[in-house]
């Protein structure tokens, strides 16, 4: 197989993941609204989960295909890409004020998740016990979201959707989009891992580096699309909330699931522990400290995050 065909099939995998995530999200949101589930709860749960499905599927598929370095690199690299690249773009375009009460717990959970993951994996393995600790953090995040949703529902009852009548054709169409979306994500992830590995071999680049750059950015595209849409509508808070939520899920669920798939002993490379995780920690600190202290994001902060991410990627591929 020629190099160009390999690259083309890799890109086809990316397109399948992106469109699959879009179809899945569209179907899931429509079904939830049709059953009368409030929009706030849909946004607090489904959006973040849906945009992290590519990362989860790619990483699990990587473990199943014995591409552990790429799987782990994708999970950690996606968090770094979400912050350095995507949040960086958002903050440069819209340096917004944050609601401290809503932002504080979720931002601290994200930073704590990154620190906890680093401390638990310093020995080079992620076993069952540490995985359960990370899942506990995810549980706190989920309960926090549901509590916030209940509070919002109580304060804004008039804004809660009351469901709507739907035709069988509409229902069938949205259910089909939901199922086809999941199938496209699975198929795209398999192509991404397969041809991403071949590209790494052809270029002489370690699979772990491909995982934290090309694959990580590719699977973060749903968050990027959400961010660009939010920027165009001047909805900075939606962008920030989605990125932080996606990162908490990436840090507390993807590697524990990969560990379970691998039999409870997920091996992490020296690059992951010595470079990727410290960079991820630093990016978390850069993202959350200014808004926690001053209550807002700054344009200089976005520029610094973008610059740090570019330097990091350049150091990997040199």
- DSSP per-residue string spanning 15-63: HHHHHHHHHHHHHHHHHHHHTT--HHHHIIIIIHHHHHHHHHHHHHHHH
Rounded to whole angstroms, how far apart are CA atoms 256 and 237? 29
Rounded to whole angstroms, how far apart are CA atoms 72 and 255? 7
Range of the domain at 175: 3-317
Question: Over the chain, what is the mean pLDDT?
Answer: 80
CATH assignment at residue 209: 1.20.1420.30
pLDDT digits (tens, 9 = 90+) for 130-182: 999 999 999 998 888 777 767 765 655 554 444 455 677 877 888 888 788 87
pLDDT of 160 reads 45
Given a cut of 50, whether residue 15 has pLDDT beyond it is yes
pLDDT of 165 reads 56
pLDDT of 26 reads 74
pLDDT digits (tens, 9 = 90+) for 216-259: 777 676 777 667 666 666 666 667 777 888 899 989 998 899 88
How many domains are there within the chain?
1
Average pLDDT over residues 106-120: 92
Give how far Cα 290 sits from Cα of 104, 180, 241, 242, 263, Å. 11, 41, 16, 19, 40
Rounded to whole angstroms, how far apart are CA atoms 262 and 45? 27
Question: In this structure, what DSSP letter does residue 158 have?
Answer: G
For the whole model, what pTM was predicted? 0.75
Given a cut of 70, whether residue 41 has pLDDT beyond it is no
Rounded to whole angstroms, how far apart are CA atoms 71 and 216? 9
Which residue did the predictor score with more confidence, 283 or 44?
Answer: 283
């Amino acid at each position: 197989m020629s190099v160009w065909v390999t690259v083309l099939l890799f890109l086809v995998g990316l397109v399948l993941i992106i469109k699959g995530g879009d179809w899945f999200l569209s179907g899931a949101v429509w079904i939830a609204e049709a059953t009368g589930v409030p929009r706030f709860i849909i946004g607090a749960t489904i959006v973040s989960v849906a945009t992290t499905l590519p990362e989860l599927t790619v990483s699990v598929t990587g473990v199943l295909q014995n591409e552990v370095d790429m799987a782990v690199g994708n999970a950690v690299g996606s968090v770094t890409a979400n912050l350095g690249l995507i949040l960086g773009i958002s903050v440069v375009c819209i340096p917004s004020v944050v609601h401290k009460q809503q932002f504080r717990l979720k931002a601290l959970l994200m930073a704590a998740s990154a620190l906890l993951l680093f401390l638990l994996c310093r020995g080079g393995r992620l076993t069952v016990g540490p995985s359960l600790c990370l899942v506990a953090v995810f549980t706190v995040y989920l309960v926090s979201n549901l509590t916030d949703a209940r509070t919002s529902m109580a304060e804004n009852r008039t804004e809660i959707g009351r469901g709507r009548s739907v035709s069988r054709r509409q229902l069938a169409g949205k259910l089909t989009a939901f199922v086809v979306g999941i199938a496209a994500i699975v198929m795209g992830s398999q192509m991404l891992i397969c041809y991403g590995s071949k590209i790494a071999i052809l270029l002489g680049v370690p699979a772990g580096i491909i995982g934290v750059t090309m694959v990580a950015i590719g699977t973060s595209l749903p968050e990027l699309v959400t961010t660009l849409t939010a920027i165009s509508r001047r909805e900075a808070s939606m962008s920030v909330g989605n990125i932080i939520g996606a990162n908490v899920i990436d840090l507390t669920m993807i590697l524990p699931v990969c560990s379970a798939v691998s039999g409870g002993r997920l091996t992490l490379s020296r690059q992951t522990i010595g470079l990727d995780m410290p960079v991820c920690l630093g990016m978390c600190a850069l993202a959350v400290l200014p808004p926690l202290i001053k209550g807002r994001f700054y344009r200089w902060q976005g520029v610094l995050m973008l610059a740090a991410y570019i330097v990091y990627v350049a150091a990997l591929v040199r």
